[in-house]
Structure 1
Amino acid sequence: MANTLTSMIISPQSMGLNMQSSSSQSVAPSTNTTSTLLHGVPNFQVQHDYVPVMSSKRIATWRYLQRMYQGGMVLYNTAMLSEGELRRGYPTDEKIQRRTLNYFLLGTSLAPVLEIPNVTDMLKALVVVVQEYEFFASESKSKMMFLRATSRKALSLDGKATEEAGEYTLLEVRQLPFPLDYVITFSSLCDTIAQVYEKITSEDRFWTLTCTEMFQKIDLRFKKIMIAACKELETMARDTLADELNAIDPLAAFTKDDGDL
C-alpha cells in the first residue's frame, strides 16, 4: 500500500508551486514508507484517480451481489441461483444467525453515516463504524450473551434497550425480538454499502493522502465481506451445476466415483 500511495503523491514542483527556502537545493520526499511521506510532505493533494476508479468497481460489484441475492440471476454465466436455492445454502443455524445479526447491525449503523454532508467527516465516521463492527464480529459469542442479557431489561418505545453498550460510539447494538432472514439482510447490506461508495464519489475533489488512507481502511473491511459472499455463491453455483449434470446423466457420478477408486 505504501508503494501505491507513493506513486500517487504529486511533488510541489509538478504542481507549479514556488516553494521558497533558504537553501537553493530542493529536497525530494522520501519514498521508503508512508509515515515518511506524512512527515515529509504533509497532506499534499493526490490527483490520481485511485479512489474514483476503485469506488466505481466496488459499486458495480456490490450492485451485482445485491441482484444475485434477490434471486433468479445467473452467476458469472454459469448457473442460475433461485431465491430458494440461496436460502438452502444458508441454513438457519446459530452461526448464520449471528452473521445475519452482524450484517444487520452494520447496515443500520452505516445508514446514519450517509447523512453526513461532508465527505471527509463521513470517512472518519466510517472508519469508526467498521472498526467497531470488526470488534463486535470477532467477539460475536460474548456479544450475543450481552444482547440476550439486554432482552431482560426494559425496552424503549422504538425497541432499543434503555442501557447502551457503552463501548460503541457509532455501531448501533440492539436486541431483536425475531430472527432475521439472511438473504434479505445481506441484499439490503449490499445496497447500503453501494450507497456508501456512491456518496464518497458524489463530488469531484482532490484526494489527500489522509483521506485516501481512510478510504483504503474502509474498503479493506468491506472487501472481506464481499470476498466471503462471492466464494459462497461460487460454491452454490458448482453444486447447482453438479445437480443438473447428475439429473441429465445419473450414471456419470457413479462412473466418476468408480474412477477415483
Structure 2
Amino acid sequence: MLVLAATPIGRVGDAPPRLAHELATADVVAAEDTRRLRRLTSDLGIEVGGRVVSYFEGNEQARTPALLEALLAGDRVVLVTDAGMPSVSDPGYRLVAAAVEHDLRVTAVPGPSAVLTALAVSGLPVDRFCFEGFLPRKAGERARRLDRLRDEERTMVFFEAPHRTAALLSAMADALGDDRPGAVCRELTKTYEEVRRGGLRELAAWAADGVRGEVTVVVAGAEAAPEVGDDPESLAAAVADAEEDGMTRKEAIAAVAKRAGVPKRVVYDVVHVR
C-alpha cells in the first residue's frame, strides 16, 4: 500500500494523529527532505522503524521504479513532503500514477493544506475555486498563463517564492486588473502568520518592500459575463462593448461567441457584414 501522509505546514501540533503511527510502522518512508523528516519524528517523539529514502524533484523520476518494486513486494510505503499533502505541487504524482497503473492501493493521511487554509482565511468566495500552483518564472510565459485566466470565474489559488511575490502580483494586476481583489497569505499557521488583503496593484506595492516566508496567493475570480443573445443585434453590441473594454476585435469575437454559444464564424460575419 502507498500512503500519502500530510505533514504540518507550520505548527507540529497540527500533525494528524495517524501520521506518527504511519511513520513508525512503515516498511519504507520516502521523504522529500530526510533532515526535515528527522526533525519531524523527533518533535513527534517517534522513530522510523523502516527504511528511509530521499524522494525529491531531482530524483523522483529515477527513484519511482524502486519504490514501485517495494510496493509490488508487499511493503507499506509512506510518502511525506516538507509540508502539506504529497503530490500537490510536491513530489508524489509519478509514484501515485505508477501504483494506480499496477492496481495497487493508494490511500492518504489527511491533514494540513496551504491551499485550503489560504482559501479559507482569504475572505474571498470559496464555493468554487481552482488551484494553479506555481506560475512560470519567465515574464512572457507567466503573462500568457495569466491572460488565459482573465475570465476565470472561480477563486484562484497560487504558490510563489517570497522573492518573486512582488513580480507575480504586478503581473496579475496587469493581466487581471488593478482592483481585482486578492490576498497574500504568508507563514500560515506559524508565529508570524500574516494575511494581507486588497486590490492586486495595492498588494504589489506592498510586496515591493520584500516578502518573507512561505507564500500563498488567493485571487478573486472574474465577474460572470452577462448572457448574450444569438441574434445579430445582440452579438454586434456585445462585440462593441468588449472592444471598448480593451479587447482586440479577434478576442472580442471569440469571447462573444463563447458566451452566446455560437460558432465564431457567426459572430465574425455579423460584425463584418454590418
Q: TM-score range by the shorter chain?
A: under 0.3
Structure 1 length as normaliser, TM-score?
0.24
Give the number of the structure whose residues are more often helix, by fraction: 1
Using CA pairs below 8 Å that are at least 6 residues apart, which structure has the higher relative contact order? 1
Give the number of the structure whose residues are more often strand, by fraction: 2
Structure 2 length as normaliser, TM-score?
0.23
